[in-house]
Structure 1
């Protein structure tokens, strides 16, 4: 992280804590306590929290500690629908505008993920996966699209991670990434858009299932009265 600022480094650590569930949805993000735990002053901690607030991972509250965002299913599925459309468009534009070196870079990300998939923990693997999609958006050479994609991706970071963690299929993911790269190399916009759509096609279903499972886990257990014979 030598090329990142201290607030960026702190934000990355907090982001991982949110992904791991150490900071659960609705939990307060206490500036003083987190600064003390990380051995930093409150100023960069405050800026890191602002970074996460811009990403939608944290909600700021007047005169109170910020909390980890807890979006509704409707908010998440609406954003995912937009995100999928943005990724399909970015793939089409990358076919037209990406340099050969940019496409080679996307292939290197894919090959790194394939080589290290079984060696990485869930978060490291997920971050490489997201780097793959971010690189395609940047290769579109459409600054507005890449910026919008980044904003939606940041807001969906935790939901997408949970879906990836619980539903991950190694062979399917690597096969689809490889097909997307092949389409970019062949400059086949239809193939790239189609494969991105297929790749993300089950995301909404997985998110809905994740919310359903979370609701079931939170449901209080039903007490069964024992037959004491009295």
Structure 2
């Protein structure tokens, strides 16, 4: 029996496997990167981080390998870890692929989703609209990602779900920065409503189009951020 088979059986029985120290450390590091506590290009101080997280160097290194697979951490030629610093071109390429994945997931979910899953996605969209003014940036972003993940998972397509998870992990910081642009939040919420309305009607074409347009907005938001950052550096 493979470990994955056993884990699936445990999950079906309501028994979730315990998270390892490496997985917990990876979660914390992912959040540090997301919030800019470890900025792009920053060297990762293994000893200091291990001490701060209360773990030994071994699980920390395992956590860094997890984040390397996700594209959040890179290694130099001398195997020193640092936070990945993707270019605008790279981010645009990844987001374009992510848009295609979410469009396919939304189209498929229009057929596969249960009534309960559709209701949950509608509920998530409503929560975001209702609480957008009160939610702190990380809370708003997590709810946003929960909304998108729920649509993808409703597709019932495991290869699609896994591929989306991998691409989305690489884009967490970019999507977080995009969601932080308060002046664009009304636009984001309006796009979520458009996605939700199409999904409720199980309109495949409209759902696919709304999701692709939504990810295109993310590309535009990231482009504005890079342009603003470039202008600020030129002033300095």
TM-score range, shorter chain: 0.7 to 0.9
Counterpart of 2:173 in structure 1 is 158
Counterpart of 1:134 in structure 2 is 149
Q: Alpha-carbon deviation of 1:93?
A: 0.5
Counterpart of 1:81 in structure 2 is 96
Within a 5 Å distance, the mapping from 1:144-223 to structure 2 comes to: 144-166=159-181, 169-219=184-234, 221=236
Question: Judging changes above 3 Å, is the alpha-carbon distance between structure 1 residues 44 and 112 closer, same or farther for their aligned structure 2 residues?
Answer: farther
Q: Alpha-carbon deviation of 1:63?
A: 4.7
Question: Judging changes above 3 Å, is the alpha-carbon distance between structure 1 residues 5 and 106 closer, same or farther for their aligned structure 2 residues?
Answer: farther
Is 2:105–2:155's contact at 8 Å kept on the other side of the alignment? yes
TM-score relative to the length of structure 2: 0.84
Question: Judging changes above 3 Å, is the alpha-carbon distance between structure 1 residues 205 and 173 closer, same or farther for their aligned structure 2 residues?
Answer: closer
Q: Alpha-carbon deviation of 1:4?
A: 4.1
2:61 to 46, 50, 66: 46
Is 1:31–1:65's contact at 8 Å kept on the other side of the alignment? no
Q: Alpha-carbon deviation of 1:106?
A: 1.8
Counterpart of 1:228 in structure 2 is none
Q: Alpha-carbon deviation of 1:168?
A: 5.0
2:65 matches 1:58: no
Aligned length: 220
Secondary structure in structure 2 of the residue aligned to 1:171? helix
* Deviation digits for residues 8-42 of structure 1 (CA, Å, limit 9, x no counterpart): 33222212211221111110112211010122222
Find the aligned partners of 1:187 and 1:159 in 2 and give their Cα distance: 30
Within a 5 Å distance, the mapping from 1:2-41 to structure 2 comes to: 4-41=19-56
Structure 2 unpaired stretches of 5+: 1-16
**Cα root mean square deviation, aligned:** 2.1
Find the aligned partners of 2:78 and 2:54 in 1 and give their Cα distance: 24
* Deviation digits for residues 185-215 of structure 1 (CA, Å, limit 9, x no counterpart): 2211122112223322322222222222222
2:113 to 83, 87, 98: 98
* Deviation digits for residues 128-180 of structure 1 (CA, Å, limit 9, x no counterpart): 10111111111111111111111111111111211221255333322322332
* Deviation digits for residues 90-135 of structure 1 (CA, Å, limit 9, x no counterpart): 1100101112222222223223323432222211211110111111
Secondary structure in structure 2 of the residue aligned to 1:26? coil
Structure 1 unpaired stretches of 5+: 222-230
Q: Which runs of 4+ in 1 moved over 4 A?
A: none
Find the aligned partners of 1:3 and 1:181 in 2 and give their Cα distance: 34
Question: Judging changes above 3 Å, is the alpha-carbon distance between structure 1 residues 196 and 24 closer, same or farther for their aligned structure 2 residues?
Answer: same
